[in-house]
């Protein structure tokens, strides 16, 4: 039996100060939302940053393309 891809869905209320006058989120804020989703996914699989640090491995975001 193979394990499927773990997915996670997060609802985020975008704060007023993250949008421009056209009410569009500025692209520079995307990484904050990605990080919220990544933390939720790690929580879902029972893994957290303290465990990551203790393991000696980190998962830095190095490219957003």
pLDDT at 65 over 90: no
Residues 6+ apart with CB under 8 A from 45: 6
pLDDT average, residue stretch 8-29 = 94
Confidence at residue 15, expressed as pLDDT on a 0 to 100 scale: 95
Which pLDDT score is estimated for 3? 77
pLDDT of residue 1: 54
4, containing H or E segment? none
37 or 64: which leads in pLDDT: 37
Instruction: Determine the average pLDDT of the residues in 40-62.
Output: 90
């Amino acid at each position: 039996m193979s394990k499927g891809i773990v997915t996670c869905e997060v609802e985020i209320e975008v704060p007023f100060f993250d949008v421009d006058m056209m009410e569009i989120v500025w692209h520079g804020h995307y990484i904050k939302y990605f990080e919220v989703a990544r933390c939720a996914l790690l929580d879902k699989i029972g893994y957290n940053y303290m465990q990551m640090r203790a393991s000696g491995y980190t998962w830095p975001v190095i490219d957003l393309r």
